[in-house]
Structure formats: structure tokens, C-alpha cells
Amino acid sequence: MNRRYPRIPLREMEEFVTIVRRLRKECPWDRKQTHKSIRDMLIEEAYEVVETIDEHDLENLKKELGDLLLHVVMHATIAEGAGTFTLRDVIQEISGKLIYRHPHVFGRAKVRHANEVKRRWEQLKMAEGRTSILDGVPKGLPALRQALSIQGRAARVGFDWRKKEDVWEKVREELDELKATLSTRSTKRREEELGYFLFALVNYARFLGINPESALRLTIKKFNKRFQFIEKELIRAGKEINHSTLEEMDELWNKAKTKGNPKLKIRNSKQTQRPGLSQG
């Protein structure tokens, strides 16, 4: 095939690798690091990349991708020093994988839509020697993301619900079973039923085209913003949050909800058994 593909900026990349190798050789801190010692930092950098994407902060995305690239090169440099593999091996491995798994781009295969690409991707992975369609889902993924990945893989081979209404009925069924455990003293059973309920809820989110991890992060972001508003308002009033009443905090919570949205109708917290802090 006589196609032209964008070339990696080799000069800049070679200079970057040279910098990392020098750090590994001359910096006491970098020299003592292992794959395991910087494992958690790699995870943190990945999450910082995700945060900039969620914030639509492209300027900082550029910086965070650089930090993530540093970890890739550092791991490759550590492996190179141990005689395990090199950065060249890493690049060759991923390049070969991308070409092999995209025969509709680099070969003569034809696909009609994105879902067909996904199905072929899974078929090609199985042909590489995997024993299960679920192989390769990292066990260290956040549970919501892991559940979504597992369900998606099963769905790609036809193991899925046909209608979202049926999925919602399953959610309600699991909720009823969770409620039934409230009369028991078995923490293990409650935990199990809560897990089933959350798994069913993730499935429903998938049918709605919603990433549950992203949805929950959005809710956490809103909660943080509203709760911090409560803290600031209490300080402004000369009060400490530890000595404030739930009613005071509830009133400020409702005020935070209407901040920037004066048309939002607020339920009076006295008309409900749950405080406003638990309301969406």
C-alpha cells in the first residue's frame, strides 16, 4: 500500500528520551525509582488528564498529556536498564496492534459502521489467544467503569437486553431485593444486593448512552460547589460549620441550588423528611 501517514516528530521525541535517560542516570530520586514505586503516580497523572478533559481545559490537557508521556518513557527507560524491553519495543508493539486490529484501514476489509468495528475488534483479540471476551478489563479500574466495560463486551457478542424498558424493570427488581435486606442483620447480603442494584443501574445508563462514571463525577462536582458555598456563607456570617444546625446548612444549600438559576423551584425542607442536602 502506498499511503502516507503522519510521522512522529522524531527529533523532539529523541531529545525528550535523552532528558529522561539523563534523569534516570544522574538524579538520585529518579535513579532509585521502580515500576512499582511510581505506579500510583501514573494513575494520578491519568486522572489529571481526565479532569482537564472534563473541564474542557485544553491548555492544561496539553501539559497533563506531557506528564503522562513522561511516565510512559520513564517506565520504558527503567525496563531498558533492566534489559527487559525498550521504548522502541513499546512503539513497535502498539503500532503492530493498531495495524492488525484495523484491517478496514490498513487492509482490504470493509465495515459499515462503528459497532461493526467494535465487534471485529473483539474477534481479532480472541484470535490473538484470549480465552474470554472479558479478558483484558483491568481489575484496578473504578468499579463503575469496570462494570460498564464488562457489560459492553458481553453486549458486543449478543449477550444483552433488547429494550431499555426491560433494563429499567431489572433496576426496580434489584432495588426491591435490596430493600428486602433491610430487615436482616446480614451486612454481607446487603452489600451483595447493593452491588446487584448498582450493576443494573450501570446497565441502564449504558442503554441511555450515559457513562455512569462521568455522571457521578458531575454530581460530585456539583455537591462540592454547593457545599463549599455553604462553608463560605457561614464564614461570612461569622459562624463555624461545626456549630451550625442542619436547618441553617439546608437553607444555604437551597440558596446554592438557585444561585445562577432563580427560576428553579425549591421545595421547603420542612415539607420533606429528608434534608435538602440529600436532594439533587
Tens digit of each residue's pLDDT (9 = 90 or more) over 168-220: 999 999 999 999 999 988 999 999 999 999 999 999 999 999 999 989 988 99
Confidence of residue 164 (pLDDT cuts 50, 70, 90): very high
User: Which pLDDT band, with edges at 50, 70 and 90, does 6 fall under?
Assistant: low
Amino acid letter at 23?
Answer: L
Q: How far apart are CA 102 and CA 121, in angstroms?
A: 8
Asked whether the predicted pLDDT for residue 5 surpasses 70, the reply is: no
* Distance in angstroms (rounded) separating the CA atoms of residues 164 and 204: 7
Which is higher by pLDDT, 118 or 27?
27
What single-letter DSSP state applies at residue 112? Answer: S
In the predicted model, what is the mean pLDDT of the chain?
88
Looking up cell 453486549 gives 155
Residues in the chain: 280
Alpha carbon of 144 to those of 2, 150, 215: distances in Å? Answer: 43, 10, 10
What confidence tens digit (pLDDT) does each residue in 50-96 have? 999 988 999 999 999 999 999 999 999 999 999 999 999 999 999 99
Percent residues over pLDDT 70 in the chain: 89
Q: Rounded mean pLDDT of 29-35? A: 96
Measured distance between the N- and C-terminal CA atoms of the chain, rounded to whole angstroms = 56
Tell me the three cell numbers of residue 158.
449478543
Alpha-carbon gap, residue 238 to 18, rounded angstroms: 56
Provide, rounded to the nearest whole percent, the portion of the chain with pLDDT above 90.
Answer: 65
pLDDT, residue 152, reads 92
Nearest to 202 by CA among 216, 223, 187: 216
